[in-house]
Amino acid sequence: MQYFYGNKMPLRVLDEADFWKHQEAEHTVVIRELVDHLEPEYVELLKQWEQAFSQTEGLVRRYLETLIRSGYPITYGFYRQIIQLVCFCLQQSQQFISFLNHLAARSKPIRTNQTAIVVLNHIRLESEYFIGVAQVIIRG
């Protein structure tokens, strides 16, 4: 991702958040489908994460639609709201990574499945990538 988009930066940032929240929701499904006999409490937590990511994605899309309809330049207040939403997205991804770390350490079906470990590490790296992008954007 290039980091300079001029007055289109808010659009780019929301587009990026939309993509990654969708990815993270899909990742919860991948984990559930990949790991046979995953503990029921983790299956339930992954479903809750999927729902949370989908809700965040929906909010990001509403912001995107508002931004597209309102045109440019946007108000400073709306820009601040976008940054706050991106901060929330970043924190959500950080919490998801913590959950993935917990899952990798505590779930026997994951610890004993090399493919699951590789996939979990890949998912973690993708969320970390989004965090890096979001941090650059927030810092301006």
* Residue extents of the structural domains in the chain: 9-139
pLDDT digits (tens, 9 = 90+) for 58-104: 999 999 999 889 877 888 999 899 999 999 999 999 999 999 999 99
Per the CB < 8 A criterion, the answer to whether 93 and 130 are in contact is yes
Count the residues in the chain: 140
Measure the CA–CA gap between 46 and 53, rounded to whole angstroms: 10
pLDDT exceeds 80 at position 116: yes
What is the model's pLDDT at position 6?
54
Measure the CA–CA gap between 89 and 13, rounded to whole angstroms: 11
pLDDT exceeds 90 at position 117: yes
Measure the CA–CA gap between 84 and 52, rounded to whole angstroms: 17
Classify domain 9-139 at the CATH topology level. Answer: de novo design (two linked rop proteins) (1.20.1440)
> Amino acid identity, residue 106?
R
Range with lowest mean pLDDT among 1-5, 58-62, 104-108: 1-5
The whole model's pTM is what? 0.91
pLDDT exceeds 90 at position 9: no
